[in-house]
Amino acid sequence: MNRPYIICHMVTSVDGKVTGDFLSAPECAPACEIYYDINRSLQADGFICGRVTMESSFTGGYTPDLSQFKPVQHDGDRKMDYMLDEEDMSGFYAVAFDPKGKLGWKSNRIIDPDGDPGYDNAQIIEVLTEQVDKRYLGYLESMGIPYLFAGETEIDVPLALFKLKNIVGCSTLLLEGGSIVNGYFQRADAIDELSLVVAPLLADKNDKPLFSDSIPAAFELVNAETKNGNLVLTYKKK
Ligand SMILES: NC(=O)c1ccc[n+]([C@@H]2O[C@H](COP(=O)([O-])OP(=O)(O)OC[C@H]3O[C@@H](n4cnc5c(N)ncnc54)[C@H](OP(=O)(O)O)[C@@H]3O)[C@@H](O)[C@H]2O)c1
């Protein structure tokens, strides 16, 4: 397989939603704890999240002032990937699917306030499209944040995964939401395993499902157990 093995690891409501207030309800706290435990135990090479999730979980909506940065010029129109020297790359990555380059990072590693080893100190990698402002590339380079190009306006999931395997060296990555990025992966047939913690709650009608705009697919249930009032499920792609 010329891409990393992808495990989509998520907390869901009983009605299969993954966004919204149910996630912060006290009744969902045990599911979140189980989710973080599994996240650590899977020992992947890193995790992937969409721009919205990275913003809500890690950057807090900070935006850099791009007027401070010089545009990065590449030969011709096509932009080049940017990697750090091997010794400066950690073995654990936080991969942000950020097509327009909106995320404002204050460090080139994730700083998790709780020091959770499932996230803390992960090396940030930005996956971008050709739409990005070239000054954003200057900002990323000044921060020591590697970036990969995959696509013109939408992120080409197979190309991004090809690069994550062959340039970065990732063998297994966790896909950790939200609904929109999960949907892009599902439609690209790039999900090998589902790891779900189903919390005993119903979500709001406006909350989003596990995959936005999914297409039909079959999975095989390989494990099901209950933990502290939650259902913990593992499915593999058939
Ligand atoms: N239940 C759980 O386990 C769990 C886990 C993680 C997150 N969440 C929840 O999910 C919420 C956010 O989910 P969401 O579905 O709204 O957003 P999301 O999937 O986190 O991010 C979506 C954004 O990512 C970018 N993107 C991702 N893949 C792309 C592709 N292939 N091509 C182009 N753009 C791509 C786009 O950014 P632009 O908009 O910049 O174009 C898109 O709008 C969070 O607030 C959090 O509560 C839940």
Q: Which residues of 144-182 are buried (b: 16+ CB within 10 A; e: fewer)?
A: ebbbbbbbeeebbbebbbbbbbeebebeebbbbbbbbbb
By the 10 Å C-beta count (0-12 exposed, 13-18 middle, 19+ buried), 238 is classed as exposed
What gap in Å lies between CA 160 and CA 36, rounded to an integer? 25
Mode of pairing for the β-strands spanning 147-149 and 230-237:
unpaired
78 has a pLDDT exceeding 80: no
Q: Is the CB of 177 under 6 A from ligand 1?
A: yes
Percent of the chain with pLDDT over 70: 99
Distance of CA 234 to the CA centre of its chain: 19
Domain residue extents for the chain: 1-45+171-238, 49-169
Please state the atom number of ligand 1 nearest to the C-alpha of residue 18.
Answer: 1
- For residue 77, the model assigns a pLDDT of 65
pTM exceeding the 0.85 threshold for the entire prediction? yes
Contact 83, 167 (CB under 8 A): yes
The answer to whether 124 touches 104, Cβ cutoff 8 Å, is: no
Surface-to-core class of residue 106, CB atoms within 10 Å of its CB (0-12 exposed, 13-18 middle, 19+ buried): exposed
Mean pLDDT of 199-209: 98
Give distance in angstroms: CA of 98 to centre of ligand 1. Answer: 9
Q: Kindly report, residue by residue over 86-117, the tens digit of the pLDDT.
A: 888 877 999 999 999 999 999 999 998 888 88
The CATH T-level fold of domain 1-45+171-238 is Dihydrofolate Reductase, subunit A (3.40.430)
CA nearest 195: which of 75, 71, 42? Answer: 42
How many residues in total does the chain contain? 238
N-to-C CA span, the chain: 15
47 ligand 1 Cβ < 6 A: no
Decide: 28 in ligand 1 pocket, CB within 6 A: no
What atom in ligand 1 is closest to the CA of residue 23? Answer: 1
Q: How far is the CA of 76 from the centre of ligand 1 (A)?
A: 31
In short, whether 176's Cβ falls inside 6 Å of ligand 1 is yes
pLDDT digits (tens, 9 = 90+) for 118-153: 899 999 999 999 999 999 999 999 999 999 999 999
Best mutation site among 36, 38, 97 for ligand 1 pocket (most ligand atoms within 8 Å of CB): 97
75 CB burial (10 A radius; 0-12, 13-18, 19+): exposed
Kindly give the distance from the C-alpha atom of residue 75 to the centroid of ligand 1, in angstroms, as a whole number: 32
Question: For residues 36 and 71, what is the distance between their CA atoms, to the nearest angstrom?
Answer: 38
Task: Please compute the mean of the pLDDT values over residues 192-201 and round it to a whole number.
Answer: 98
For 77, the 3-state DSSP assignment is: coil
Name the residue with the closest Cα to ligand 1, atom 13. 178
For residues 158 and 167, give the distance between their C-alpha atoms in angstroms, rounded to a whole number. 14
Q: Which residues partner with 12 through β-bridges?
A: 198
